[in-house]
């Protein structure tokens, strides 16, 4: 599908009922989070994209895709000459995703070229679908979400070929006969229409061909999204149809240039989680650039602000809990939240059309937070979909007094960035022996890891972007003398100093546990969960060479001169 042509078609059919909207229009500045109201376990439902992965892009699945803990990607059944899309065929993409959490939704309509689709005959169509099913079954992969029978039938189905409902029924029956356990998805409307969905469901109920997953696009403005979900659920009830999972198989800000913008993503995340959407895929308005994860990437290899915000979303664990914006029907501040009891962390992701001071109130905080909460606010900045973002930034970090199981976090926001609020037990709780943490440098906002994820003794410590790899995780074990050993989760080796050196600038390395004192560290609290790590052997602290903020910069020991690169925030993992 060529989206630029789709825009013109959309205008001609008066499908795009909402004009482009300036996301700066909102005024409300509050978000409420009820940590005691569980919605469901974390699913990362909104992490997919349309044609966001191809047979070759992104080339680095391990570092650009897997860390997002993605859910569903929408891909064409066939790709290449004579098909709708030249790249991105579903089965090869399923192969590339086989080592990740990602699944593939197979868009069958893309078997046909042109726009609208150049449908031939029913028998030819069913033959083509049959061959796709055969190849999918023969692939041996089990990471398929389902078959999306058609795409945007409200603008792409020609009634000269018969009724859409008849085509749907015949295709449905074919899929059921050949792949009975597969999920069937539809009708995949270009926008939500009460009357169209009602007519479709009524036909499907009468003819035993109800979709397993109901789907439509949300491309015309965040203001109407919540109303569509509530209307659809009421429609199911009125028709006597059991609740279907909902797939928003294309979503984007009404200003399509904001595809992948963290602020806009925050608004969608809030609504998708609040209404328990099953899956959602970012759109593909910029057709010259498939394989960029719905503009989360600024180029084929570089991360944009949206990638970092989605990475935070993929890191959410435990239960998603209730959030409430000031108004569902505007571009207000909105977001989602999770409570991870095993990790003793409450996470809030938010964004919206707000510039200035915003407030997020968290009520019914879990008991593990205690009387003092350590709160870190971070920003995923964004200028445009083509702007590379090297890392996130820390907005603020401090302890909050918990009163009646509640705190209110206030910070300055803008209308394009997305924000993460991490709430953990405060300074009184200290560091827990036997638990795993990430160590984020206060100066660079990068985390402590091992060069090239080495598992060898002598592997050097470095700072790097927090891309979710296991070498960024460290097990703290308290010893009888009050010092800690710090073990790399990836390698099983301990943090120490090259040759037990006591000199400034000596490299920090990992090594087997041979009992030397350079493997022992004291933790000196700076504030909240920010500490200095002091080596028992040398008395020096861990810092970054030349106070660098670059990924890959060497981590060294140095006399405690008070520079901020000596300060490390310990983020609880498990």
Q: What pLDDT, on the 0 to 100 scale, is given for residue 58? A: 98
Residue 27 — very low, low, confident or very high, per pLDDT cuts 50/70/90? very low
Higher pLDDT residue, 46 or 372? 46
State the residue for tokens 């990475």.
311
Residue 571 — very low, low, confident or very high, per pLDDT cuts 50/70/90? confident
Tell me whether the omega of the peptide bond preceding residue 116 falls within 30 degrees of 0, making it cis: yes
Q: What is the DSSP letter of 186?
A: E
Nearest CA among 186, 105, 200, 103 for reference residue 150: 186
CA distance 573 to 419: 19
pLDDT digits (tens, 9 = 90+) for 327-350: 999 999 999 999 998 878 999 999
CA distance 419 to 45: 19
Which residues, in sequence order, are CB contacts of 12 under 8 Å at separation 6+? none
The angle at the Cα of 565, spanning 482 to 494, to the nearest 5 degrees, equals 45
The mean pLDDT value of the chain amounts to: 92
Q: What pLDDT, on the 0 to 100 scale, is given for residue 366? A: 97
pLDDT digits (tens, 9 = 90+) for 72-94: 999 999 999 999 999 999 999 99
| Bridge partner list, 195 | none
Nearest CA among 309, 354, 550 for reference residue 441: 550
Which residues, in sequence order, are CB contacts of 353 under 8 Å at separation 6+? 22, 23, 24, 25, 26, 263, 330, 331, 332, 333, 415
**Stretch 400-429: mean pLDDT:** 92
pTM of the model: 0.83
Residue 156 — very low, low, confident or very high, per pLDDT cuts 50/70/90? very high
Nearest CA among 300, 281, 303, 282 for reference residue 291: 300
User: Considering the chain, what percentage of its residues have pLDDT values greater than 70?
Assistant: 94
Strand order across the beta sheet in which 319-325 lies: 393-401, 372-380, 418-425, 345-351, 334-340, 319-325, 30-41, 356-363, 407-413
**Stretch 220-242: mean pLDDT:** 97
**Stretch 504-512: mean pLDDT:** 95
Q: What pLDDT, on the 0 to 100 scale, is given for residue 344? A: 83
Residue 48 has pLDDT above 70, yes or no: yes
Q: Is 484 exposed, middle or buried (0-12, 13-18, 19+ CB in 10 A)?
A: buried
Is residue 301 within 8 Å of 65, Cβ to Cβ? no
pLDDT digits (tens, 9 = 90+) for 365-412: 999 899 999 899 999 999 999 999 998 998 998 889 999 999 999 999
Q: What pLDDT, on the 0 to 100 scale, is given for residue 427? A: 62
CA distance 568 to 566: 7
Q: What pLDDT, on the 0 to 100 scale, is given for residue 18? A: 29
Q: What pLDDT, on the 0 to 100 scale, is given for residue 428? A: 57
CA distance 572 to 574: 6
**Stretch 264-271: mean pLDDT:** 98
Q: What is the DSSP letter of 180?
A: T
Residue 13 has pLDDT above 70, yes or no: no
Is residue 227 within 8 Å of 192, Cβ to Cβ? no
Lowest mean pLDDT among 80-89, 238-247, 495-504, 563-572: 563-572
Residue 445 has pLDDT above 80, yes or no: yes
The angle at the Cα of 388, spanning 306 to 100, to the nearest 5 degrees, equals 50
| Domains of the chain, CATH where assigned | 44-314 (3.20.20.80), 319-429 (2.60.40), 435-572 (2.80.10.50)
**Stretch 194-198: mean pLDDT:** 98
Q: What pLDDT, on the 0 to 100 scale, is given for residue 281? A: 98
Tell me whether the omega of the peptide bond preceding residue 58 falls within 30 degrees of 0, making it cis: yes
Residue 250 has pLDDT above 60, yes or no: yes
Residue 206 has pLDDT above 70, yes or no: yes
CA distance 104 to 93: 7
Q: What pLDDT, on the 0 to 100 scale, is given for residue 28? A: 66
Nearest CA among 477, 561, 569 for reference residue 531: 569
Sign of CA dihedral 408, 410, 413, 417: negative
CA distance 504 to 500: 12
Q: Is 334 exposed, middle or buried (0-12, 13-18, 19+ CB in 10 A)?
A: buried
Q: Is 406 exposed, middle or buried (0-12, 13-18, 19+ CB in 10 A)?
A: middle
Residue 10 — very low, low, confident or very high, per pLDDT cuts 50/70/90? very low
pLDDT digits (tens, 9 = 90+) for 94-136: 999 999 999 999 999 999 999 999 999 999 999 999 999 999 9
Maximum alpha-carbon separation in the chain: 83
Both ends of the chain: CA-CA distance in Å? 44
Residue 22: CB atoms within 10 A of its CB come to 11
Q: In which element (H, E) is residue 55 found?
A: none
What is the SS3 assignment for 122?
A: helix
As a three-state string, the secondary structure of 372-440 is: EEEEEEEEECCCCCCCCCCCCEEEEEEEEECECCEEEEEEEECCCCEEEEEEEECHHHCCCCCEEEEEE
């Amino acid at each position: 599908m060529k989206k630029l042509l789709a825009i013109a078609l959309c205008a001609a059919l008066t499908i795009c009922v909402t004009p482009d909207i300036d996301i700066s229009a909102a005024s409300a500045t509050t978000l409420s989070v009820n940590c005691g109201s569980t919605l469901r376990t974390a699913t990362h439902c909104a992490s997919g994209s349309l044609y966001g992965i191809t047979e070759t892009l992104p080339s680095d699945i391990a570092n650009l895709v897997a860390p997002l803990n993605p859910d569903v990607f929408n891909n064409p059944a066939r790709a290449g000459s004579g098909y709708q899309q030249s790249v991105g065929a579903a089965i090869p993409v399923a192969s590339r995703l086989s080592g990740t959490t990602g699944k593939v939704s197979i868009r069958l309509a893309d078997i046909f070229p042109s726009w609208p689709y150049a449908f031939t005959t029913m028998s030819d169509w069913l033959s083509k679908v049959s061959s796709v099913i055969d190849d999918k079954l023969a692939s041996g992969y089990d990471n398929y979400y389902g078959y999306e029978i058609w795409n945007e039938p409200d603008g792409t189905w020609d009634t000269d070929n018969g009724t859409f409902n008849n085509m749907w029924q015949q295709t449905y029956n074919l899929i059921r006969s050949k792949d009975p356990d597969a999920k069937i998805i539809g009708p995949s409307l270009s926008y939500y229409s009460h009357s169209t969905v009602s007519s479709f469901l009524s036909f499907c109920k009468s003819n035993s061909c109800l979709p397993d997953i109901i789907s439509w696009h949300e491309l015309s403005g965040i203001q109407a999204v919540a109303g569509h979900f509530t209307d659809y659920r009421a429609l199911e009830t009125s028709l006597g149809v059991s609740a279907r999972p909902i797939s928003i198989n294309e979503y984007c800000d009404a200003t399509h240039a904001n595809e992948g913008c963290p602020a806009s993503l925050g608004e969608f995340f809030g609504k998708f989680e609040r209404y328990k959407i099953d899956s959602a895929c970012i759109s593909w308005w910029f057709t010259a650039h498939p394989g960029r994860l719905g503009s989360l990437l600024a180029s084929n290899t570089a991360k944009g602000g949206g990638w970092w915000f989605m990475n935070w979303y993929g890191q959410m664990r435990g239960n998603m809990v209730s959030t409430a914006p000031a108004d569902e029907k505007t571009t207000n501040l909105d977001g989602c939240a999770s409570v991870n009891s095993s990790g003793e962390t409450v996470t809030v992701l938010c964004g919206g059309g707000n510039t200035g001071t915003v407030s997020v109130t968290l009520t019914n905080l879990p008991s593990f937070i205690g009387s003092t909460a350590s709160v870190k606010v971070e920003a995923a900045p964004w200028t445009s979909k083509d702007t590379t973002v090297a890392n996130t930034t820390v907005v603020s970090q401090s302890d909050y007094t918990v009163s009646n199981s509640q705190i209110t976090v206030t910070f300055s926001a803008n209308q394009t960035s997305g924000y993460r609020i991490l709430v953990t037990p405060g300074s009184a709780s200290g560091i827990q022996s036997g638990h795993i943490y990430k160590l984020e440098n206060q100066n660079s906002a990068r985390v402590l890891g091992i060069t090239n994820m080495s598992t060898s003794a002598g592997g050097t410590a470095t700072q790097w972007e927090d891309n979710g790899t296991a070498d960024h995780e460290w097990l703290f074990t308290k010893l009888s003398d009050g010092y800690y050993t710090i073990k790399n989760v990836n390698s099983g080796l301990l943090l120490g100093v090259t040759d037990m050196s006591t000199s400034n600038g000596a490299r920090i390395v990992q090594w087997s546990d041979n009992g030397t004192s350079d493997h022992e560290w004291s933790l000196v609290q700076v504030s909240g969960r920010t500490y200095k790590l002091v080596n028992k052997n040398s008395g020096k602290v861990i810092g970054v060479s030349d106070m660098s903020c670059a990924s890959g910069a060497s981590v060294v020991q140095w006399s405690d001169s008070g520079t901020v690169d000596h300060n490390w925030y310990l983020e609880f993992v498990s």
